[in-house]
Amino acid sequence: MKISIVGTGYVGLVSGTCFAQMGNSVVCVDIDEKKVKELRKGIIPIYEPGLEEMVFGNHKNGSLRFTTDIKEALDFSDICFIAVGTPMEEDGSADLKYVLAVANSIGQNIKRHTYIVDKSTVPVGTADKVRKTVQEALDSRGSSLTFDVISNPEFLKEGAAVEDFMKPDRVVIGAECEKALSVMRELYAPFVRNHDRFIAMDIKSAEMTKYTANAMLATKISFMNEISNICERVGADVNQVRNGIGSDKRIGYSFIYPGCGYGGSCFPKDVQALVKTSKDHGYTPKLLDAVEEVNFAQKRVISTKVIEYFTEDLSGKTFAVWGLSFKPETDDMREATSIIVINELTKRGAKIKAYDPKAIKEAKEFYLKDNQNVDYVTSKYDALDSSDAMILLTEWKEFRSPDFEEIAKRLKNRVIFDGRNQYNKKQLEKYGFEYLQIGVG
């Protein structure tokens, strides 16, 4: 099938590449000329396991192309995916200006019936706005061309996005006519061949499904973090509690690991957007408000522990930070806890020696670029030299079984603050460490 995808960010690039991998002809569009030039060379703007090789291979064989010209892409394709960003406004709502700008361009440039697919994460009712925008553009041309608007939310996990797309848990499609559903069934057939995971519904329900899924997962995380804070105060161990409840099939083990808060591009933005949508329609979602409040506080738990241990004035103190990205297997630092922890400590006079396998460039160039009290190192052990304590914030695999003798040798004080509960307290006590983790009284 002939597909165009507008937007070569996380969702657009992964989607376009995976569609091409299955034999479709794909043109990806982006207004950033530098990015398009780099993509043509096989240089991708994000880190995602397995993606770079797929982009290079499919571009080389001609099934995946990149352009800055949306007209060229629409002339080529029958299906056009909108996969541009929907950044969060100050009031928590999703900013649809990029989505609607693309919709206008589609209306100005299509030459035949086109299936327009909302792939961006958008609030309920966005498809109606896209339809209205496209129709207005067609009317301004005096055109009688027809089109269909379809909702196809993405459910990709950063760090496992390629696998999630190639072997999806489900493919959710919201459409108003059987022909549009039939086209999407054909497109996704290779991805759901082994099991029928194609779920058809009305458009507004499809739009709501994405937000509901992320809100549910965020709720599980905040719930467990709330329990961890209670455990600390009553003398219980949240890790043992997690094992006790996770064995219940009704609960399960997924997303009940206590930690220092969730981040990334999805959970914070989507929960707040759902709260805003709800309030706009006259309902106050008390549970979702609480989910965000708990997460806001949880991101500050580790810095609070450090301050309580070393006192408010951290002048002359240096801390080794292991992990900058909001989760492992990605370089994404959007809404990462590391930003808050590092800024809270440095504004009290501390110095930071930071290490992350993939996110150092992001930290230097964007998220911590104005913080002059952060030094970046190329080895996790180098971060420890002359540091007063170690702080673990991201559960990268290479942090799971470190050489504790080496850590003890390099640190000035044998103190570890663990925001992801990665280690065994008794094991660390053998080496003389003070181990301060989440949710253990």
- Please, which residues have CB within 8 angstroms of residue 158's CB and are 6 or more apart in sequence? 10, 48, 264, 265, 327, 329, 330, 332
Count of helix runs (H) and strand runs (E) in the chain: 17, 14
Q: Which of 18, 28, 260, 266 is catalytic?
A: 266
Distances (CA, A) of 82 to 95, 97, 116: 14, 12, 7
For residue 418, what pLDDT is reported?
98
Q: What are phi and psi of 66, to 5 degrees?
A: -130, 140
For residue 194, what pLDDT is reported?
76
- Please, which residues have CB within 8 angstroms of residue 131's CB and are 6 or more apart in sequence? 149
State which residues of the chain have pLDDT below 70: none
Mark whether 18 is an active-site residue. no
For residue 9, what pLDDT is reported?
94
DSSP 243-302: HHHHTSTTT-STT----S---SSSHHHHHHHHHHHHHHTT---HHHHHHHHHHHHHTTHH
pLDDT in tens, 256-315: 999 999 999 899 999 999 999 999 999 999 999 999 999 999 999 999 999 999 999 999
Spatial contact of 440 and 425, defined as CB atoms under 8 Å apart: yes
For residue 14, what pLDDT is reported?
98
Instruction: Report the C-alpha gap between 328 and 132 in whole angstroms.
Output: 40
State how far Cα 327 lies from the chain centre. Answer: 9
Spatial contact of 120 and 87, defined as CB atoms under 8 Å apart: no
